[in-house]
Amino acid sequence: MTRRRDRRHWRRRQGDDPYLARARAEGWRSRSVYKLIEIQRRERLLRPGATVIDLGAAPGGWSQYAASLVGDKGRVLAVDLLPVDGLAGVDRIQGDFGDESVLEAVENWLGDGPADLVMSDMAPNITGIRAVDQPRAMLLAELAAELALKTLRPGGAFVCKLFHGEGFDEYLRALRPEFERLRVRKPAASRPESRETYLVATARKL
């Protein structure tokens, strides 16, 4: 597809997108929020008082929704390469989650307490070249899993965007012994033509 046709296709897709229109009408920062809302409806992962780390948070839809559910006694941290505009009940760290300094900042934010939920909607800039995009996406998912395994309390949960392709099965295989239950979900708001899915891993083992 040429760049111009590509742009037209993108605009048409945005214009026809019911989730985008709904997000605007309902005051959410992103259409992606409906993916988390569906996961929450099925899994009940976000609870009052919970400590939540949101990786790849910009523009902030997931954090906004998480903050509304964890309430005043909960904590939400939004991490992204891009700035996230201020949100009530949400702390923010801007930087590349692949950088050691950003990981340290996340751990400092947590302090001594564990996390109840680590969620990652991180995605690399898509080039359209699968051999480039898939390893980049898997690397982000691996970084998110490392944080989850290091910081989750026993019983805690991990949600992570994953793309079907090379490394997908191995990734699930490596995480299976760490959680009581692993599910792969494709929320209705995830575009059907996309290879995107979400891993929902619950009940972190001791």
Residue 80 identity: D
Q: How far is the CB of 41 from ligand SAM (least distance, A)?
A: 16
Beta bridge partners of 91: 77
CB atoms within 10 A of CB 164: 14
Q: Pick one of 121, 162, 197, 201: the residue that binds ligand SAM (CB under 6 A).
A: 121
Q: How far is the CB of 206 from ligand SAM (least distance, A)?
A: 29
150, 161, 186, 205: the catalytic one is: 161
Burial bucket for residue 123 (CB in 10 Å: 0-12, 13-18, 19+): middle
The residue among 140, 146, 143, 138 whose CA lies nearest residue 165 is 138
Instruction: Say whether residue 126 binds ligand SAM (CB under 6 A).
Output: no
Contact window for ligand SAM (CB under 6 A) among 37-45, 109-117, 119-127, 197-205:
119-127
Q: Pick one of 34, 59, 92, 199: the residue that binds ligand SAM (CB under 6 A).
A: 59
161 flagged as catalytic: yes
The residue among 26, 47, 40, 197 whose CA lies nearest residue 123 is 197
Burial bucket for residue 95 (CB in 10 Å: 0-12, 13-18, 19+): middle
Instruction: Say whether residue 133 binds ligand SAM (CB under 6 A).
Output: no
Q: Is the separation of the CB atoms in 78 and 59 below 8 Å?
A: no
Q: How far is the CB of 61 from ligand SAM (least distance, A)?
A: 3
Instruction: Say whether residue 57 binds ligand SAM (CB under 6 A).
Output: yes
* Binding positions for ligand SAM, 65-84, rule CB under 6 A: 79-82
Binding residues (CB under 6 A) for ligand SAM: these are: 29-30, 32-33, 56-62, 79-82, 96-98, 121-124, 140
- Catalytic residues, by residue number, are 161
